[in-house]
Amino acid sequence: MGKPISPTKAAEAWGVNRAVLYKKMRLGELSYTSDVSSNGKSRRLIDPAEMLRVFGEPNIETSKNETKSETETLLPDSAIHLDYIEHLKAQLAKKDTLIERQAAQMQSLIEQLNDVNQRLLPAPDDMDDYFEEPEPVKVKRKWWKFGKKAEEA
C-alpha cells in the first residue's frame, strides 16, 4: 500500500496506543520489519497494509495528512511507470512491424506456391495409356515331387 511507517506514526494514524502496537508485535499478531537507522540503532517499521489488516481503516483526521504524503511519494513512481509504459509501447510497435513483415512474406510464399501449382501438368484423364500390364511370370516346376503332393498328383 505504501512505504513502511514507524509504530509512533502508525499509532497516531489509527488512534491506537503505542503499547498496544508493541504488544501485538511481540505476540506475533502484527508483523513488522526491522531496519537499522542512520545512527546505527535498530528500529521497527510496520507496513500500512498490515495495520489495515489488524486495526481496520485509520482515523479520518490523520488520513488526510497521510494521503498527502502518499501522493508525494507516488509522483516519482508514476514517472517511472510512464517511462515503462512508453517502453512497452515502443516494443509493441516493433512487434507490429515484425508481424506485418512476416505476413507480407507469407503472402508472397503463397503466391509463389500458386504459380508452381499452375505450372504443373494436369493429370491425364485416361491413365491406361501410361501403364502397360506386366507379362505373366512363368513358374518353373520341379520334376520331382516328394511327400503328399507326389501322391495327389
pLDDT in tens, 17-28: 999 999 999 999
More confident of the two residues 116 and 1:
116
Query: What single letter denotes the amino acid at residue 113?
Result: L
| Share of residues in the chain with pLDDT > 70 (%) | 72
What pLDDT was estimated at residue 112? 92
More confident of the two residues 113 and 122:
113
pLDDT of 82 over the 70 cut = yes
d(CA 105, CA 121) in angstroms, rounded, equals: 27
Nearest in space to 45 (alpha carbons), one of 9, 15, 73: 9
Quote the mean pLDDT of the chain: 79
Mean pLDDT of 104-133: 80
More confident of the two residues 94 and 143:
94
Render pLDDT for 28-55 as a digit per residue (tens, 0 to 9): 998 888 888 778 888 889 988 888 888 8
pLDDT of 152 over the 80 cut = no
The cell numbers describing 102, all together, are 512476416
The CA distances from residue 118 to 52, 123, 127, in Å, are 73, 12, 21
Neighbours of 21 (CB within 10 A): 23
Are 1 and 69 in contact by the 8 Å Cβ rule? The answer is no
At 149 the three-state DSSP class reads: helix
At 38 the three-state DSSP class reads: coil
Domain spans of the chain, in order of start: 7-58, 75-115
What pLDDT was estimated at residue 63? 45
Give the largest CA-CA distance in the chain. Answer: 122
| Share of residues in the chain with pLDDT > 90 (%) | 21
Mean pLDDT of 115-119: 84
Mean pLDDT of 93-115: 94
